[in-house]
Structure 1
């Protein structure tokens, strides 16, 4: 039996590509996870041949996937068009997080008026579940719960242009939000903020919901800056 490369081992941990969407979109999702877990490190070159071999695909759908990630600002290209993992500076990330905070604040306001009672109850339950499972979830599983909570708020706002704008900014901040989500040093504060958001939404208090979401995205910016300053501290 041939030994698998470390990259192939990492891909195997993420499970098979299920083919629900286009192959390129499925590959892009796999690469996002590798970037989140830093199996593809910030600033590292992406070796297309090795990656295509590890995925068991041709380089054509891989290049399509890389173009998707380029639009999401997770992949960038050198002057000679060689792909590499994006490594934006803290200022750029903070600016994008402020915009995302404004979008989520608006979503919170609109969700207070548009969401059903069942949707608000589901969001409150999700916030409690995150708190209960914080110590047992693997970082990627916890992050997916976190993002599902935020996406649920935006979806409950019933505003398609807002949904599209949020998806665009959230995609480019995927890794930054993962860095914030996995930091355990201030995990209790993050979980408390989720509960505050859910409580404000349940009360249909638009101003409190917007303020809580802005505060929460500000915490994410602080976490990202702290991680850059001291990457060894979780």
Structure 2
């Protein structure tokens, strides 16, 4: 028998594991599964209607990514967020946002402004409809589009990498933050500045928006640190699977 051939059972298990990992990854990154929450394998197996084999394979993947921790005799937990590292990363992002704002005024095209405006309208619709997760995703896409429009690929790549580092922190805070309406208003000001060629304050608007976001994210995560989740992992997984 060819030793490199994978059995159908193994392939199916790995396929299920990848799907489970993707679902749990989204739930962790968007804040549905909060930092420090205990992961009950039995609850998750029931919620996803799978055996423990593909579930454990999925959890191993998330452990390797740093989203989940595992300790013998204790089990799996959603990884805590290092608030010091998060704060330091935000400090860099403030400067990158401002730099992008300075460059965008000279380099952004009408087509790019129109694309950002269209994405902004979709984001506002999600805000009005109370679709917080969808709003959050569009919000991040808009920020990356603005940085990309600065026309500096090194800046765009560094910004994308750092945003990926703060994504889970922003998602965890986004589940509870009261700054949602304020943030939406700040995005209105950002778009107005982009649409006005004579506007010279975009860099400072972006910097202040980034600072406000960081301040709220860090405050929410600090308050939540050590708090018990309102619902069990299994409850949240079942909601995700049914949705």
**Take 2:155 and 2:107, find their aligned partners in 1: how far apart are those partners?**
13
Question: Superposition pairs for residues 174-189 of structure 1, below 5 Å?
Answer: 174-183=167-176, 185-189=178-182
2:123 matches 1:130: yes
Cα deviation digits, residues 158-210 of structure 1 (max 9, x gap): 32222221222111211222245455633232111111112222234685222
Cα deviation digits, residues 7-55 of structure 1 (max 9, x gap): xxxxxxxxxxxxxxx9998766433321145453312455789868949
TM-score by length of 1: 0.68
Bigger RCO of structures 1 and 2 (CA < 8 A, at least 6 apart): 2
Question: Superposition pairs for residues 223-234 of structure 1, below 5 Å?
Answer: 223-228=216-221, 230-231=223-224
Partner SS, residue 163 of structure 2: helix
- Of the three residues 209, 213, 229, the one matched with 1:220 is 213
TM-score by length of 2: 0.66
Structure 1 residue runs of 5 or longer lacking an equivalent are: 1-21
2:80 maps to 87
| Partners of 2:97 and 2:207 within 8 A in 1 | yes
2:146 matches 1:153: yes
Q: Report the CA distance shift for 1:43/1:180 in structure 2 as closer, same or farther (over 3 A).
A: closer
Q: Report the CA distance shift for 1:86/1:214 in structure 2 as closer, same or farther (over 3 A).
A: farther
The alignment covers a number of residue pairs equal to: 207
Pairwise CA distance, 1:89: 4.3
- Of the three residues 107, 110, 119, the one matched with 2:103 is 110
Partner SS, residue 134 of structure 1: helix
- Of the three residues 196, 200, 217, the one matched with 2:193 is 200
- Of the three residues 138, 144, 151, the one matched with 2:137 is 144
Q: Report the CA distance shift for 1:183/1:85 in structure 2 as closer, same or farther (over 3 A).
A: closer
Q: CA RMSD in A?
A: 3.7
| Partners of 1:115 and 1:157 within 8 A in 2 | yes
Bigger Rg over Cα: 2
| Partners of 1:119 and 1:156 within 8 A in 2 | yes
1:101 maps to 94
| Partners of 1:35 and 1:41 within 8 A in 2 | yes
2:158 matches 1:170: no
